[in-house]
Amino acid sequence: MRDLFRLEGEVAVVTGALGRLGPIWVETLLEAGSAVLACDRPAAPVSEAFQRIQARFGETNLKLIRADVRDRTALEAGCRQCVEALGEPSILVNNAGIDRPPAGGEKEHRLEDIPFEQNLEILEVNTLGLFLVTQVFGRQMVKAGRGAIINIGSLYASVSPDNRFYDHIRGDPPFLKPPAYGASKAAVVNLTKYLATLWAPYGVRVNALSPGGVLGDQDEEFKRKFCHRVPMGRMATASDLRGPLLFLSSAASAYVTGIELIVDGGFTAW
């Protein structure tokens, strides 16, 4: 059974590798035996979490490249680097995405006043950028006749954000979860099904992994409200996400494609 989850000989690409969830995916894949090409935008700082992973695994099996998911030229150059340094990509984790958390220092807007450009940027990165990355790296998998693509979604692909989670945050206008965020993730889930059916004959599996409420630096009142809404009574931790990613990346899910695996402690069951 252990052999089903081993990734020795695989080459994984992880976008948004320097962000909040990126190091979780990168470390999980490395621990399972895969080499990893980590990708993030040119201006993204290298997080402490990623630095610890670099120190642990070295540069032989972990390479960091800089490319915006909206820049096809940079992505194609990154794909060439991947092949030259690590080998043909066989796993792709489409993790890069943007959101607007509360108290992010940005001006708030009432729904009717949200700038077009703000919605456009979220959709460009979260959905269109994901598609572009898949075009560049996925075609290598199609040529090879094998591969696993995991698109990172969100519980907000299935349900609307509950703005009562944020009503203790004072502001005029009050904070609103960006409407484009959930829309972009719902599009990712549908795109997952499209690609899964299109590429199944070529041996490439495409699935979505949708985390819900990952514990971070949220304020205590938000965490209290959120956990009260979750049947399991808590937020997700890094360890809750590792197993689902490994399952979708490995031979353990050899007959699984086109699904959304929701990891949310039961949030969307209510």
What pLDDT is attached to residue 2? Answer: 84
Whether the CA torsion 162, 167, 169, 175 is positive or negative: it is positive
Question: What residues make up the domain containing 21?
Answer: 2-269
Report the residue count for the chain: 270
156 carries an active-site annotation: no
Q: Are 96 and 157 in contact (CB under 8 A)?
A: no
Structure pTM? 0.96
- Residues (pLDDT < 70) of the chain are 103-105
For 3-27, the pLDDT digits (tens) are 999 999 999 999 999 999 999 999 9
Q: Which CATH number is 111's domain given?
A: 3.40.50.720
Strand order through the sheet with 204-211? 62-66, 35-40, 11-15, 91-94, 147-152, 204-211, 260-263
- Give the pLDDT score at 1: 83
User: Residue 158, Cα to own-chain centre: how many angstroms?
Assistant: 16
| Strand-strand pairing, 204-211 and 62-66 | unpaired
> HSE of 180 in the Cβ direction (CA atoms, 13 Å)?
19
3-class SS of residue 17: coil
CA distances from 213 to 106, 154, 184 (A): 22, 9, 17
Q: What is the pLDDT of residue 139?
A: 97
From the list 166, 181, 202, 255, the catalytic residue is 181
pLDDT at 103: 66
- What pLDDT sits at residue 101? 80
Domain count across the chain = 1
